[in-house]
Amino acid sequence: MINSLSEPSGYFSSENFVSNENTFQRVIPALTATTRRDGVYIGVGPEQNFTYIAALRPRMAFIIDIRRQNMLQHLMYKAAFELSESRADFLSLLFSRERPDGLGPESTAAELFQAYENKTRTWDNERYRRNLQSIIENLSTRHHFTLTDKDKEAIEHISHAFLDAGTGLSYGYQVLGVGPTPTYAQLMAETDGLGQNWSYLASEESFRVLKEMERKNLVIPLVGDFGGPKTIIAVGRYLQEHAATVTAFYTSNVERYLFEEPPKWSVFYNSVAKLPLDSESTFIRAVLTPRQFTNARRAAIRTTTYLSTISEVLKAFREGRLRIYDQLNVFSR
């Protein structure tokens, strides 16, 4: 499916190893109240998708990103899920650190990351090489992915970023001029604003939701441009054939880029209109906010997360009431 549904890799301005959206959990209570669990999730970007998937429990998920490197990073994650029995094992493999003592099923996400933060600068190249080889073998031998030498080099590049930065890995890793962005540890310790942490590493149960979906090949990363001619339409055709409905579509802030490149925004909404939807199908959208607002952890609040009903947005698009990016605010809640 990766080969048949994907488009050629495109350009994005950053490597985006980790999300920069520290408010992405804020919409989960409202989202879970209206989203049924037998639907299909579509998203973009790196690990924040796992938290939405763990919360929504879809029957299947597609991650569509313009960068082939993002698809390969999700394959790396797939192998890491399959090779790990617990969250602590998963983080040990992901960051190539020795598993700290005292971690167990009841450990919070903050406790897990604090334990690994204490080992952030403890490099173990032998462990890293062994973990990298296990990931490549899982993908190439067990799953028979046809990884090119360039793909393997990209997975090594991604893995080394996790080794190098450890739990402090952020969107701004080795990017000049970005400013402070939340670290992986900070993102996983966030809450929905009401005190509940929904992150995919908040509990063993959430972790096992992802592990089981990855084991069954139900999280499918694709290379595709939201404003491209193929991938979203191909996913829609597949879902129509299997009587499945898209219940949530996480766009991050990609719509902003689409409106900067006419006619990509209209191509996107025409493609979304071909997906199997229902009256509750929902866009999850991130909107950039001013940098001067900062949280207690000194990471700039870069986004606010909103929901909007897909059918309402598509109706406005068809009627000509959606022509510029800022008009999306009307449909965001």
Give the pLDDT mean for 214-218.
97
Give the pLDDT mean for 56-72.
98
Q: Please give the single-letter amino acid code of residue 73.
A: Q
Kindly report the number of other CB atoms within 10 A of residue 184's CB atom: 28
Place of tokens 């990016």: 325
Q: With the CA atoms of 134, 140, 146 and 147 taken in that order, what torsion angle do they form, in degrees rounded to the nearest 10?
A: 10
Name the least confident of 38-47, 111-120, 175-184.
175-184
Burial category of 266 from C-beta neighbours within 10 Å (exposed 0-12, middle 13-18, buried 19 and up): middle
Q: Are 121 and 175 in contact (CB under 8 A)?
A: no
Q: Which of 58, 24, 64, 8 is nearest to 287 (CA)?
A: 24
- pLDDT exceeds cutoff 50 at 255: yes
Query: DSSP code of 330?
Result: G
- pLDDT exceeds cutoff 70 at 290: no
Q: How far apart are CA 119 and CA 105, in angstroms?
A: 20
Q: What is the pLDDT of residues 109-148, one digit of tens each?
A: 999 999 999 876 666 789 999 999 999 999 999 999 999 9
Distances (CA, A) of 251 to 3, 226, 303: 22, 9, 13
**pLDDT interval class at 289 (50, 70, 90):** confident
**Residue 80: per-residue pLDDT:** 98
Q: Are 306 and 333 in contact (CB under 8 A)?
A: yes
The model carries a pTM of 0.95
Q: How far apart are CA 151 and CA 156, in angstroms?
A: 9
Dihedral sign, Cα of residue 131, residue 137, residue 139, residue 142: negative
Q: Are 310 and 272 in contact (CB under 8 A)?
A: yes
- In percent, the amount of the chain with pLDDT more than 70 equals 95
CA 75, chain centre distance (Å): 12
**Residue 301: per-residue pLDDT:** 53
Phi, psi of 250 (to 5 degrees): -90, 115
**Residue 74: per-residue pLDDT:** 98
- pLDDT exceeds cutoff 60 at 299: no
**Residue 120: per-residue pLDDT:** 63
Helix (H, G, I), strand (E, B) or coil at 77: helix
Looking at per-residue pLDDT, the higher value among 233 and 125 belongs to 233
- pLDDT exceeds cutoff 60 at 64: yes
**Residue 297: per-residue pLDDT:** 46
Both tokens assigned to 302: 């870069």
